[in-house]
Amino acid sequence: MQQITAQHFAERIRRGAAQARAAGFDALLIAPGPDLAYFADYLPVATTERITLLVVPVDGEPAMVVPALEHDGAAATRAADAFRLVDWSDGEDEYVPTSALMEPSGRFAVSDALWAMHLLGLQQKLPGARFEAISHALPMLRAVKDADEIDRLAAAGAAADATFDDILGARFAGRAEREVAADLDRLLREHGHSQVDFTIVASGPNGANPHHEVGDRVIAEGDMVVLDFGGLMDGYGSDTTRTVHVGEPTDEEHEVFEIVKRAQQAAFDAVAVGVPCQDIDRAARAVISDAGYGEYFIHRVGHGIGTTTHEPPYLVEGEERPIEAGMCFSLEPGIYLPGRFGVRIEDIVVAADDGAHRLNNTSRELHLVQ
C-alpha cells in the first residue's frame, strides 16, 4: 500500500473545489462525518455541539475551523498541510470566525452531516447566503476513488471474503439467525474491521424480504440463507452478499440461484467507462425478467461505497450519469419469492478503463452448508 500524504488530500480538495465551481457554488462546507474523513483525514472523536468545519472556497485557500481544545488532534492528521486551521475558544461566538471564511451572499454546498444547529447559526450570521445539501447538489463528489482508496476498499473486501470463508465452516441448522449474525460480526472484527454496519442473516421465508436484518428464527435443513454483511476497515467500507443452502437444494432453488448468478455476471459485464449507471441495472434486470422473475427483483442493482457503505453512484433506473474510472460500487441483483425464499449475490467492483474488477472474490456458486 502506498504512503498517503497531505498531497493526496490537497488533490481531493482541488477536485472537490472544481466540482463545486462547475456547479455554481462559492464554497463547500465540510462537516465531521464521511465527507471530513475524505477531505481532511479527520474524524474528531467528540463530534459535539462545538463546531468543526472545513471551508473549501472555489477560489482561495481552504481552512478548517476547530475548537481550540481539539487543535492538536486536527493538526496531527495526514492532511494537516492541505489547509490551515482556525481555532475558536469556549465563550466565543463560534459562528463569527466561521462565517468570516464565507462569502456573505454566497451559495454553499453543505455536508449532509452538519448539525442543523450549526447551519442555523451560520444562516443567522449570513442571511443573504444560500445553502444546499451536498448529496443533492454534488452527488458524485466522493464517487471517483483514488489509488489509495481503492487499496483500502480492496483490503476491506478481502476481509469480508475471509469472513465468508470462515462462516462456511459454521453450523447453520438448529441455530437462530441472530447467532450466525453474531459470528459474522466477530469474524469481521477479527479480520480487521473497526466497525460492523450490518450482518443480515435471512433464512427461508425471511430471505424474501431484502430488508430483513436478523431475527430469532431458527435455521432449518432445506433453508436458503441470505448472508449480507459489511462495515468499515481502515476508514473504508465492505459489503458482500452470498446465499447459501442448508443441505441439498431443490431444482427450483437451484434454478433461481443460477438466474441471479447470471444477472450478477451480466451487470459485471455491462460495467464500462462512459456507460450510464442505469444501464448496469438494466443489464441485470433483463436476465431476471427474461427468466420470468422480473416482478421479484424489487430493488436497484447497486450503490457506491467508500468512507460509507452506501453512497453515490446509485445504479438505478433514471440515473443517467456515466460510470467513470475509479468509481466503486456494489452489483447485487436478487430474486425474492414472498413467503418462500430469496437469493442475492453481491460483489463490490471498481470501474476501470478495461471494465470492472471485483473486490470480492469468494466463489459465486451455491454453497451447501450444514
Of the pair 56, 331, the CB lying nearest Zn ion is at 331
Residue 239 binds Zn ion, judged by CB under 5 A = yes
DSSP one-letter string for 251-320? HHHHHHHHHHHHHHHHHHHH--TT-BHHHHHHHHHHHHHHTT-GGG--S-SEEE-SSSSSEEEEE-TT--
Of the pair 77, 241, the CB lying nearest Zn ion is at 241
At position 260, the amino acid (one-letter code) is V
One of 139, 215, 222, 235 touching Zn ion (CB under 5 A): 222
What does the block give as the cell for 166?
470462515
For residues 146-165, which are near Zn ion according to CB under 5 A? none
Q: What are phi and psi of 278, to 5 degrees?
A: -65, -25
Of the pair 70, 346, the CB lying nearest Zn ion is at 346
Q: Which stretch binds Zn ion (CB under 5 A): 28-36, 57-65, 225-233, 267-275?
A: 225-233
What are the CA-CA distances from residue 311 to residues 34, 160, 164, 305, 359 (Å)? 10, 19, 23, 6, 17
Residue 99 binds Zn ion, judged by CB under 5 A = no
Cβ 202 to Zn ion shortest distance, Å: 11
Residue 243 binds Zn ion, judged by CB under 5 A = no
Of the pair 47, 135, the CB lying nearest Zn ion is at 135
Of the pair 319, 346, the CB lying nearest Zn ion is at 346
Instruction: Calculate the CA 205 to chain-centre distance.
Output: 27
Cβ 10 to Zn ion shortest distance, Å: 31
Residue 330 binds Zn ion, judged by CB under 5 A = yes
- The dihedral through the CA atoms of 14, 17, 22, 26 has a sign that is negative
Instruction: Calculate the CA 222 to chain-centre distance.
Output: 33
For residues 127-146, which are near Zn ion according to CB under 5 A? none
What does the block give as the cell for 229?
454483511
How many residues belong to the site for Zn ion (CB under 5 A)? 7
Q: Which stretch binds Zn ion (CB under 5 A): 56-64, 65-73, 90-98, 216-224?
A: 216-224
For residues 250-269, which are near Zn ion according to CB under 5 A? 253
Of the pair 41, 223, the CB lying nearest Zn ion is at 223
What does the block give as the cell for 57?
472556497
Q: Which stretch binds Zn ion (CB under 5 A): 90-98, 107-115, 131-139, 239-247?
A: 239-247
Query: What is the side-by-side order of every strand in the sheet holding 63-67?
Result: 84-88, 63-67, 53-57, 27-30, 107-110, 130-133
368: how many CB neighbours lie within 10 A of its CB?
12
Residue 360 binds Zn ion, judged by CB under 5 A = no
Asked if residue 117 lies in contact with residue 278, where contact means CB atoms within 8 angstroms, the answer is no
Cβ 3 to Zn ion shortest distance, Å: 30
Q: Which residues here bind Zn ion, judged by CB under 5 A?
A: 222, 228, 239, 241, 253, 330, 346
